[in-house]
Structure 1
Amino acid sequence: MARTRKEMIEETRHRLVAAGRQAFAAKGYADSSMDDLTANVGLTRGALYHHFGDKKGLLEAVIQEIDKEMSVRLRAITRQAESTWQGFINESIAYMEMAIEPEIQRIVLLDGPAVLGNPAQWSSQNACIQSTMKCLQTLQSEGVIKDVEIEATSRLLNGATLSAALWIAADEQPLVALEKAIHAFVSLANGLLKH
């Protein structure tokens, strides 16, 4: 059965994202050649330009794919927790722990900001903030946390975990930075609890 044009376009796009992801993880964005990247999957530079505009557009697509995978993993961690509060803490810690995973560290937290700018401005951050707002609203309705301004608190908490992840990824001793960040985040978050 012949593939449709839409299926062929999607397959080409998928192949380019997979090749970009592999190259960016192995060599980094700056050292990844668009010619090598496209040749490795039997495509032309023109295909890359057609689908993503340029190498920067491909990086953005790769980061979006990784971000979706991270979100799936984080939601699973939250669902497995014994309470909404523990789910919130576990998810926040897991996000910071992802900063030491080589692919996430290099592509999302080092090359991404260097090429695409401030991650707090990326579209994925809005989804993170909305998720945190929903969680905090639930925690307030359960009587677990103090009466706080939900959006402001969500933005502060998201900013804290994002900043921590960026620090951990760039630090010469990421495991030490991770331990410090987790301890500080839990202390900070515990300040929201009703006593």
Structure 2
Amino acid sequence: MQGVEFAKDLIQKEIRGLELLFQSLDEDEKFNEALQVMSNVKGKVIVTAVGKSGHVGKKIAASLASTGTPSFFIHSTEGVHGDLGMVEQEDVVIMISNSGETLEVLNLLPTLKKIGVTTISITRDKESTLAQASDIALSYTYEEEADHLNLAPTTSSTICLVIGDALACALSNKKDFTKEDFHLYHPGGSLGRNLST
């Protein structure tokens, strides 16, 4: 299987992962709980992860910021080398790890507990160390990664990205965030130009 055939098979695997996520939201009140905590936060929403999850985390933090929720990303490795100084008690920290056992992410937990922040994890394993240590654990499931080796973060990273989009947009909707508000934070590019008119 090559080319378009391979691509369509890969996309179908990722779609299946999103279908499982869609179905699971009906049974899990954790999403609403996370949404409530994030909407009431007096500080910032900070996202942390490493690897491909880190790239997804940066996008989630950027989406939150542009849709009305002050947010930024901390690389988990940098966190234990001083960047945890950016975190304050009134913040919420979203921690992403597909396995829930990523050492660099877990290493943040003792300090985050001492600071007293609320932690939200996004992981496939609700029994993992990270999920069990978090105040709110958002978990997901999928049948396989979409690459031919079933190894590269593909299905899992897409699911995390969609969870982040869902949180950011649901928060924005909850806050009655308007086009004018969006333009305030996004005056540049074609989006900014279109909103100016």
Q: TM exceeds 0.5? A: no
Give the TM-score range, shorter chain. under 0.3
Higher relative helix content = 1
Larger Rg: 1
Higher relative strand content = 2
TM-score normalized by structure 1?
A: 0.27
